[in-house]
Structure 1
Amino acid sequence: MTVLAVGLALLGSLFFALGAALQQFEAASTARVNLRHLIRRPRWLLGGLAIAVGTALHIVALKYGPLTVVQPMGVASLLFALPCAAALQRRRPQSGELAAAAVIAIGLIGLVLVVPEHTGDPHLSTGGAVTLLAGAATAALALWITAGQAAPAARAGLLAMAAGVLYGATATLTRVLVDGNWEPWFLLAVPMPALIALALLQRAYAVGHFGISFAALQVADPLTAVAFGALLLGEPLPTSTSSMLIALAAAALTAAGTVALARTTPMSPTHDAIAR
């Protein structure tokens, strides 16, 4: 069953990566980066369908395997996404960007593995939900404002990070809805950060640095969910010295890989043509 779970999770990562690459290609090839315009483009919608299939496969994988085995497999989407994006741009992926992505993946796997699994039912009060939404919105707004003054690669990363923060908040609320006690208004609150995150992510994709934006998303989303889970849901964090050292080393690898990826991943040729 564990082997089946790993296979499903890897297949889900491939679909997720393909969907992200398709959506980035469409976002970078249009001067009008808004959801109303993008949803009229069949390839962008196909990317959304691929992401939905990837998410569903990952959820099914969690039924057959433990979280500590399945969750790290999602990081493989970063390694799949770069070749997919390169194929759409009709180029070969650079060895440097693949190496940087591998370093990020190793770092993320290390961070995921040192977080203890929580076995209790999560509970989020009304005040806690307001704190979660307000905190995520404040962080995303700060990243969005900073992105406006940044260079292209940094702007793509900051916008995607803002999207990742909001997706992390959405994941936290979803976990409460699925497993815990919640208030009825939570159902109305869940779509808001997800839709804003989707819009921010398309703006990040439109900048053209797909590698850095996708990596920033993959880093910010799980780390935000873990932070909110610990602060608001009482989920455990690593406490032993060895776990803390592993977490620090993994964080350093992730940061170094992200910086390297920002320096190696090329702009989308389509975006360059529009900019001119």
Structure 2
Amino acid sequence: MIIAVVGALAVAAGAALQERAAVSAPFGISQVHLVRHLMRSRRWLLGLVLTGVGIGGHMLALVHAPLILIQPIQTTGLLFAVVLAAFFGKRRLSVAQVLGCLAVTAGLIALLTALPMHAGDPVLTGRETVLMPLVCVGAMLMCVLVARFGGASTRAWAFALAGGVGFAVTSALARFVGVGMLDDPASALRPLTVLALVIGLSGGMIVQNSYRTGHFTLAYATLMISDPMSAAILGVVFFGERLPDDPLAATVAVAGALVCAVGVITLARATHARGRATGAAAVNTGPPTAEVRAEAAATPPPILGSEPPMADEDAEEPVSR
């Protein structure tokens, strides 16, 4: 679990450093010039290294612990992102952000305390090796289909749900491949490894589209909740991971999951509200300040080179302060 927490911290720190480098780039430059600008930034390169270390830590944790235990720990990345944004911006957390951090922390502690700490090695039959990714890809396609025929809010949660499922199945396949590598490192050179990368990258692109709908709060909260839930389902159904069998432990686990979900939603709403407020202030006062750039560290960036979200009749109203 310690490795998973350290990995989440590294990913959050890497994202914060990369975001600060990206928002400092000149406006209106081409993608080629943007890449060159970022590659010359020591901060961006350090962020890239930290992100790689964090992902590696997450993969390593998955090899030694069950999905149902490790995947929820990645929610701590949201805590670290919020705290790092406040640190870089030299400001205090809002009351809502503090309450959200406390709720996520308390919920995770309760959840991890109640869940079984150990599980056997993941085993997939030949049929399950095809069935698990096929079912998950089918679920992702269904979500994308729903998004295409809905408004902005529907697109936000549907795309984010598809991304959460994609990240979950990527972690599940990574656990299966990683455990096999302990006995035979050459087992990494199997089609499942390529499939995991393709699904993970596809999930990431789908999530970026959910952020473009103008409903960041709904999208990010859906992603943070659907990812560990989907991973838990995959772990129980395909890997035989155990749920709490004691009624008290099961109650604590459910309560912890609910409290954690409430904390994620609170953090997403509070951080997005403050980001929109500081962004509006930047429009009125000129170029973005250090605090505005730091605020962006807690908000995942849109697709590079994409147009801003289009207005929609059911888009979120600005949050008044």
Provide the TM-score with structure 2 as the length reference.
0.63
- Shifted more, 213-222 versus 126-135: the winner is 213-222
1:239 paired with 2:234, answer no
Contact 1:108 1:219 in 2 (8 A): no
What's the offset of the Cα at 1:102? 2.9
Aligned counterpart, 1:199:
205
- Displacement of 1:232 in angstroms is 0.9
Output the CA distance in 2 between the equivalents of 1:172 and 1:109.
Answer: 23
Q: Secondary structure at the match of 2:272?
A: coil
**Which residue in the other structure is 1:106 paired with?**
106
1:31-110 mapped onto 2 (5 Å cutoff): 42=38, 47-57=47-57, 71=70, 74-85=74-85, 93-110=93-110
Mapped contact 2:119–2:242 kept (Cα < 8 A): no
Q: How far off is 1:170 after superposition?
A: 0.9
Residue type of the alignment partner of 1:193: I
Q: Deviations over 1:141-196 (max 9, x none)?
A: 344445563556x7555534422211110111111112249894323322111111
Partners of 1:23 and 1:142 lie apart in 2 by 33
Give the unaligned 5+ runs of structure 2.
182-186, 284-307, 311-321
Match of 1:16 among 11, 16, 27: 11
Q: Which amino acid aligns with 2:14?
A: G
Amino acid at match of 1:245: T
Cα separation, 2, equivalents of 1:161 and 1:36 = 32
1:221 equivalent in structure 2 = 227
Contact 1:78 1:105 in 2 (8 A): no
Structure 1 portions without partners, runs of 5+: none
Per-residue CA deviations over 1:13-56 (Å, capped at 9, x if unaligned) read 322112344566759x999xxx9998677277764432212233
The answer (yes or no) to whether the contact 2:97–2:271 under 8 Å persists in 1 is yes
Aligned to 2:130: 130
Root-mean-square deviation (CA, aligned residues, Å) is: 4.4
Letter in 2 for 1:105: T
C-alpha contact (below 8 Å) 1:12/1:54 kept by paired residues: yes
CA–CA distance in structure 2, aligned partners of residues 89 and 155 of structure 1: 32
How far apart, CA to CA, are the structure 2 residues paired with 1:45 and 1:13? Answer: 18
Higher radius of gyration, 1 or 2: 2
Give CA deviations for 1:225-265 in whole Å, capped at 9, x if unaligned: 22111101212121110121112211221332244345433
Secondary structure (helix, strand or coil) at the match of 1:266 reads: helix
Asked whether the equivalents of residues 79 and 102 of structure 1 are also in contact (C-alpha less than 8 Å), the reply is: no
Alignment partners' CA distance in 2, 1:158 and 1:89? 33
Equivalent residue letter for 2:131: T
Equivalent position of 2:292 in the other structure = none
Q: Cα–Cα, structure 1 residues 61 and 248, in superposed 2: closer, same or farther, change >3 Å? A: closer
How far did 1:76 drift? Answer: 2.9
| Alpha-carbon distance between aligned partners in 1 of 2:204 and 2:36, rounded to the nearest angstrom | 15
TM-score by length of 1: 0.71
Q: How many residues align?
A: 265
